[in-house]
Amino acid sequence: MGRHAKKNRFPFWLLMLMIVVVFLFTISSIGFTESILAAVDRILGIENTQDNNNGEGDEEAKKPPEKTPDPTSDPDPTSDPDPTSDPDRIAYLTFDDGPSAITPKILDILRNYDVKATFFVIGVDTEFGRDMYRRIAQEGHAIGNHTYSHDYSQIYLSQEAFMEDFYKLEDLLWEVVGIRPKIMRFPGGSANHSSHDYAGPDFMEGMTDRIVEEGYQYFDWNVTSGDTAQTIVFQEEIINNVLAGIEGKDEAMILFHDLGTKKTTLKALPVIIEHLKEEGFAFRSVCKNTPGFRFH
């Protein structure tokens, strides 16, 4: 009796199939079927143009394409932030040899005083170094090329050796912050005698000419903080060096060093900025059109 009753029962799987068919037919009017087909297309790698145009793709599809660096654009972000102003006295705070452990603190001080400066950087291709390049640029300071290695025995062997090292830093800065600086400073300055040991006494004359011919401007200084005169230079001495150096000058290109050991430079910097403001100096970053301040 039980087996006979089971044979007469309507097959359950057929009932469920009919329900599914009715369900799909009923809701097809709201585009559900089209959505399924579109999903299949995506799985198979077929582009659905209508979805893309409507912006209904996934989040990755909504991201703008990554810009490919254009080496011919050669942006120059080091222009005067306020070219209409004409202060009586101008101070250019310049920091060589960074990024270093004290770079964040230098930037903090400059930000607190709302002062723009110039960093003649070397190659520090680490996560920290790249972060510092970005922060320097993002906070409105100028970046100049100070060669990648800063190794006198390497860069002052020949013009080709110098330019290879120079371009290496330029390429790194282009990759990280999208700029190819048109301003630079020679390690040791344009009249350094260290190059004589490697390439002879006439090397720097030819090297400075080549830099200019290739469209760059090089900068020395007319005021030095003296913060590398010895291993430790007391902050009072650094302050006195700068204050003595600016006396009688309407434009001061001041040399500091961005090195991890220069803790006294950090201590002297706020005092120097306050003194310069009291003396009527306005602060500018270096740009290609800044007066040369050249030794050579």
Same domain, 32 and 165: no
Last residue of a domain, one of 46, 62, 78: 62
- Find the DSSP H helices in 9-112: 12-27, 32-44, 49-53, 59-62, 103-112
- Dihedral sign, CA of 253, 116, 100, 157? negative
**Residue 134: pLDDT band with limits 50, 70, 90:** very high
Distance CA 285, CA 282 (A): 10
Expressed as residue numbers, the domain containing 31 is 14-62
Kindly state whether residue 83 falls inside one of the protein's structural domains: no
Which residue's structure tokens are 């062997």? 157
Distance CA 226, CA 213 (A): 31
CATH code for the domain in which residue 127 is found: 3.20.20.370
Distance CA 96, CA 111 (A): 18
Same domain, 95 and 155: yes
Query: Contact, 194 vs 286, CB < 8 A?
Result: no
Same domain, 37 and 151: no
Mean pLDDT for the chain overall: 82
**Residue 34: pLDDT band with limits 50, 70, 90:** very low
Kindly state whether residue 76 falls inside one of the protein's structural domains: no
Kindly state whether residue 296 falls inside one of the protein's structural domains: no
pLDDT tens column, 140-168: 999 999 999 999 999 999 999 999 999 99
User: How is the chain split among helix, strand and coil, in percent rounded to 5?
Assistant: 45, 10, 45
Same domain, 110 and 155: yes
Same domain, 176 and 214: yes
**Which is catalytic among the residues 96, 97, 227, 258?**
96
Omega within 30 of 0 (cis) for the link into 99: yes
Measured between alpha carbons, how far is residue 52 from residues 30, 31, 43, 62, 138 in Å? 20, 17, 15, 9, 34
Query: Contact, 177 vs 133, CB < 8 A?
Result: yes
Kindly state whether residue 7 falls inside one of the protein's structural domains: no
Same domain, 221 and 160: yes
Same domain, 58 and 93: no
Which residue's structure tokens are 């005083």? 113
Which residue's structure tokens are 């001495």? 237
- Which pLDDT score, from 0 to 100, does residue 292 have? 77
Residue 28 pLDDT greater than 80, yes or no: no
Same domain, 52 and 157: no
**Residue 118: pLDDT band with limits 50, 70, 90:** very high
Kindly state whether residue 96 falls inside one of the protein's structural domains: yes
Which residue's structure tokens are 């068919």? 21
For residue 183, the surrounding DSSP H or E stretch is strand 183-184
Q: How many residues does the chain have?
A: 296
Please indicate whether residue 275 is annotated as part of the active site. Answer: no
Kindly state whether residue 288 falls inside one of the protein's structural domains: no
Please indicate whether residue 96 is annotated as part of the active site. Answer: yes
Query: Contact, 159 vs 210, CB < 8 A?
Result: yes
**Which is catalytic among the residues 141, 146, 150, 257?**
257
Query: Contact, 173 vs 149, CB < 8 A?
Result: no
- Which pLDDT score, from 0 to 100, does residue 122 have? 98
pLDDT tens column, 80-92: 445 556 789 999 9
- Which pLDDT score, from 0 to 100, does residue 67 have? 38
Same domain, 129 and 241: yes
Total domain count, the chain: 2
Helix-helix angle 32-44:12-27, to 10 degrees: 100
B/e letters for 3-13, b = 16+ CB within 10 Å, e = fewer, are eeeeeeeeeee
Secondary structure tally for the chain: helices H, strands E: 13, 8
Kindly state whether residue 105 falls inside one of the protein's structural domains: yes
Same domain, 159 and 28: no
Residue, of 171 and 68, whose pLDDT is higher: 171
Same domain, 45 and 157: no
- Which pLDDT score, from 0 to 100, does residue 76 have? 46
Kindly state whether residue 104 falls inside one of the protein's structural domains: yes
Same domain, 150 and 200: yes
pLDDT tens column, 178-191: 999 999 999 999 99
